[in-house]
């Protein structure tokens, strides 16, 4: 599994291609160096390693033991120190409440049965003043055409059935869940990825993929 996860031309090449974009967005909006960071749904550790290399103290959680095994093997090969755990974010919230400066949750909420539960748990895990980043897919016909029809069914860039259209999330829905979780929306950015030329860029267009930055406010103080 380690060879599969870290093959930049393999099944996870999209994650490798967009990872610099995700990292750049996070670094533009939060300081990673020596910060306690939680990567929710870390998979094989692609983003976790990038943040650790930027100086963050990283914990990565996932429920797929095979992915965590791949992450641990590659971490050892790179001589990095990352704490990988098999856990749900909800379970971790009861154990490490208010423990993290930064939380990332990338390409996960569109796959879980209860996104609000994930958002609430992320909020609980963040320190006051902590930053939380989500990346997901907008529920639009543009996203359906590009992500499901073309990427999965026509070109086979992703495995069929990876995504379900009804689980795509509109930005206003994500913002509403965050507000219910006592989080403040700080920024939203779309991002564009063209797999055939492996081009990626941040954009104002949020009709397909987008990133959102939230902050847990400090008690008694405006953010």
Confidence at residue 195, expressed as pLDDT on a 0 to 100 scale: 75
Region of 57 (left: φ > 0; alpha: ψ -120 to 50; beta: rest) is beta
pTM: 0.93
| Closest by CA position to 112, among listed 149, 147, 163, 158 | 163
> Which domains, ranges and CATH numbers included, belong to the chain?
2-215 (3.40.50.150)
| One-letter-per-residue 3-state SS of 68-133 | HHHHHHHHHHHCCCEEEEECCHHHHHHHCCCCEEEEEEECCCCCCCCHHHHHHHHHHHEEEEEEEE
**What does each C-alpha distance from 88 to 29, 42, 118 come to in angstroms?**
26, 11, 9
CA 177 – CA 61 distance, rounded (Å):
22
CA 180 – CA 176 distance, rounded (Å):
6
Per-residue pLDDT of the chain (223 residues; tens, 9 = 90+): 678 899 998 888 889 999 999 999 999 999 999 999 999 999 999 999 999 999 999 999 999 999 999 999 999 999 999 999 999 999 999 999 999 999 999 999 999 999 999 999 999 999 999 999 999 999 998 887 877 776 666 656 667 767 788 899 999 999 999 999 999 999 999 998 887 778 899 999 999 999 999 999 998 765 4
For the beta sheet containing 57-62, the strands, ordered from the edge strand earlier in sequence to the opposite edge, are 82-86, 57-62, 36-40, 100-106, 126-137, 209-215, 184-194, 199-203
CA 183 – CA 214 distance, rounded (Å):
6
């Amino acid at each position: 599994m380690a060879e599969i996860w870290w093959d930049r031309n393999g099944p996870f090449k999209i994650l490798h291609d967009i990872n610099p974009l995700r990292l750049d967005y996070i670094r533009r909006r939060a300081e990673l160096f020596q910060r306690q960071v939680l990567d929710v749904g870390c998979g094989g550790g692609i983003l976790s390693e990038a943040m650790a290399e930027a100086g963050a103290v990283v914990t990565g959680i996932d429920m797929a033991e095979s992915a965590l095994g791949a992450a641990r093997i590659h971490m050892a090969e790179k001589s990095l120190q990352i704490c990988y755990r098999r856990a749900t974010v909800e379970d971790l919230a009861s154990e490490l409440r208010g423990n993290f400066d930064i939380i990332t949750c990338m390409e996960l909420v569109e796959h879980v049965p209860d996104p609000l539960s994930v958002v609430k748990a992320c909020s609980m895990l963040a320190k006051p003043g902590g930053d939380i980043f989500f990346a997901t897919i907008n529920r639009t016909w543009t996203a359906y055409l590009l992500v499901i029809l073309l990427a999965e069914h026509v070109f086979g860039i992703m495995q069929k059935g990876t995504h379900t259209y009804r689980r795509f999330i509109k930005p206003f829905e994500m913002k509403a869940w965050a507000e219910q979780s006592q989080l403040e929306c700080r920024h939203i950015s779309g991002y564009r990825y063209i797999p055939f030329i492996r081009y990626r860029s941040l954009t104002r267009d949020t009709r397909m993929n987008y990133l959102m930055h939230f902050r847990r406010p400090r008690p008694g103080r405006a953010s």
